[in-house]
């Protein structure tokens, strides 16, 4: 039996205070994360991936603020209503996480082992020896000398080693929802492949629900069951990874895939998406956020935000996707051929 929790994000809006006022980094995001799956969040830089990951831990910091919405996690309720000690206990024990800055988040004055024991104590772990044994075993699976790493200070470890320490700390308390923000970015290709395999193995052994933020669709293709694609603070497509990558519905997903030779399958056909992703200040306030770069742009895209429409276990937010298939095909032939 699995203890993996499901997660339901509803209508989530997160704003950051900027010189132009409060601007939304996430707008009306809805996402159901199925228990026991690895869900990938992909999208270009600034699309809101990290903000979404932080929201799952109710950890958005000023100048950011969660303006609206709920994040229901099985066994915890709406984490956006938790605060203080309840929230601190939830993080670590129920929610394991590695953030993008994991390489720099260790305390420089304490050994990794000391920090591990502090973490255990602050979450009521009685047997430090079991904690150390589990930590060593995780580190050794990731190709490190466990005893040596636990005896080391941050400056004695390389960036890649620190990243693996971060992953160990996310897993060692046996949390059942694990949130990994770019867990393999500082790693070389071989180590990256090893770490992805271990993330998958531990996920299955322990019956976890895992959310993995990555800008690398290749990484997502390798390890995730389901894929959520973000653009300009909106979730534009979501579904089983093989379906989303095999037959993308949203023109943004299509563009992302076409930009990667090893996924599009033909180096000559690989093409970067035209234009640049929006920043908070350049995001359109009405209509579709992707329209400036979209080959399927229509009049309605200027004025109306496309609703998220479900098709079986997939969904997409695009006016063109709602058109009869024949109409879309004609435009695609012109634009994507």
Ligand X SMILES: Nc1ncnc2c1ncn2[C@@H]1O[C@H](COP(=O)(O)OP(=O)(O)OP(=O)(O)O)[C@@H](O)[C@H]1O
336 contacts ligand X (rule: CB under 6 A):
no
Q: H helices within 174-311, ranges in order?
A: 189-206, 217-223, 241-246, 251-258, 261-264, 300-303
Which of 37, 39, 50, 184 touches ligand X (CB under 6 A)? 50
User: What's the rounded Cα separation, in Å, for the pair 49 and 213?
Assistant: 6
Contact 105, 111 (CB under 8 A): no
Q: Where does this chain touch ligand X (CB under 6 A) — which range of 45-53, 221-229, 234-242, 304-312?
A: 45-53
Smallest separation, CB 64 to ligand X (Å)? 6
Segment holding 129, helix H or strand E:
helix 128-141
43 contacts ligand X (rule: CB under 6 A):
yes
45 contacts ligand X (rule: CB under 6 A):
yes
Segment holding 141, helix H or strand E:
helix 128-141
User: What's the rounded Cα separation, in Å, for the pair 305 and 232?
Assistant: 12
Smallest separation, CB 4 to ligand X (Å)? 24
| Pick 93 or 215: Cβ nearer ligand X | 215
| Pick 206 or 291: Cβ nearer ligand X | 291
103 contacts ligand X (rule: CB under 6 A):
no
Structure tokens at 247: 């037959």
| Pick 43 or 146: Cβ nearer ligand X | 43
107 contacts ligand X (rule: CB under 6 A):
no
**Phi, psi angle pair for 227, to nearest 5°:** -130, 130
- Going by C-alpha positions, the residue among 129, 142, 213 that lies closest to residue 171 is 142
- Beta strands 95-98; 177-181: pairing state: parallel
Smallest separation, CB 66 to ligand X (Å)? 13
Segment holding 244, helix H or strand E:
helix 241-246
234 contacts ligand X (rule: CB under 6 A):
no
Structure tokens at 262: 């090893």
Smallest separation, CB 134 to ligand X (Å)? 30
| Pick 134 or 237: Cβ nearer ligand X | 237
Smallest separation, CB 272 to ligand X (Å)? 17
280 contacts ligand X (rule: CB under 6 A):
yes
Q: Given CA atoms 203, 204, 206, 211 in this order, what sign does their dihedral have?
A: positive
171, HSE (Cβ side, Cα atoms, 13 Å)? 32
47 contacts ligand X (rule: CB under 6 A):
yes
Which of 4, 12, 15, 25 touches ligand X (CB under 6 A)? 25
Which of 215, 291, 314, 332 touches ligand X (CB under 6 A)? 215
Residues 295-314 that bind ligand X (CB under 6 A): none
| Interacting residue ranges for ligand X, rule: CB under 6 A | 16, 18, 25, 43, 45-51, 63-64, 215, 279-280
């Amino acid at each position: 039996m699995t203890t993996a929790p499901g997660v339901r994000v509803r209508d989530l809006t997160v704003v950051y205070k900027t010189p132009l006022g409060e601007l939304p980094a996430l707008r009306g995001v809805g996402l159901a994360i199925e228990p026991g799956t690895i869900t990938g969040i992909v999208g270009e830089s600034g699309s809101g991936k990290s903000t979404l990951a932080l929201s799952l831990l109710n950890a958005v910091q000023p100048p950011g603020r969660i303006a609206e919405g709920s994040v229901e996690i099985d066994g915890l309720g709406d984490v956006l209503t938790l605060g203080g000690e309840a929230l601190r206990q939830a993080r670590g024990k129920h929610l394991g996480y590695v953030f993008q800055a994991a390489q720099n988040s260790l305390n420089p004055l304490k050994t990794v082992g000391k920090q591990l024991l502090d973490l255990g104590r602050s979450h009521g772990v009685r047997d430090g020896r079991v904690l150390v044994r589990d930590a060593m075993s995780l580190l050794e699976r990731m190709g490190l000398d466990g005893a040596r790493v636990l005896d080391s200070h941050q400056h004695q470890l390389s960036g890649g080693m620190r990243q693996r320490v971060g992953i160990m700390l996310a897993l060692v308390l046996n949390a059942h929802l694990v949130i990994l923000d770019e867990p393999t970015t500082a790693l070389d290709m071989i180590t990256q492949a090893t770490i992805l395999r271990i993330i998958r193995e531990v996920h299955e052994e322990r019956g976890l629900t895992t959310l993995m933020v990555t800008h690398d669709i290749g990484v997502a293709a390798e390890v995730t069951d389901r894929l959520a694609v973000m653009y300009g603070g909106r979730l534009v497509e979501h579904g089983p990874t093989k379906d989303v990558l095999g037959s993308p519905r949203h023109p943004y997903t299509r563009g992302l895939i076409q930009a990667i030779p090893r996924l599009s399958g033909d180096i000559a056909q690989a093409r970067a998406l035209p234009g640049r992703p929006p920043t908070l200040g350049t995001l359109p306030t009405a209509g579709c956020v992707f329209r400036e770069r979209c080959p399927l742009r229509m009049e309605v895209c200027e004025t109306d935000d496309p609703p998220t429409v479900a098709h079986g276990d997939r969904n997409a937010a695009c006016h063109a996707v709602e058109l009869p298939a024949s109409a879309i095909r004609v435009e695609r032939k012109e634009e994507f051929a």
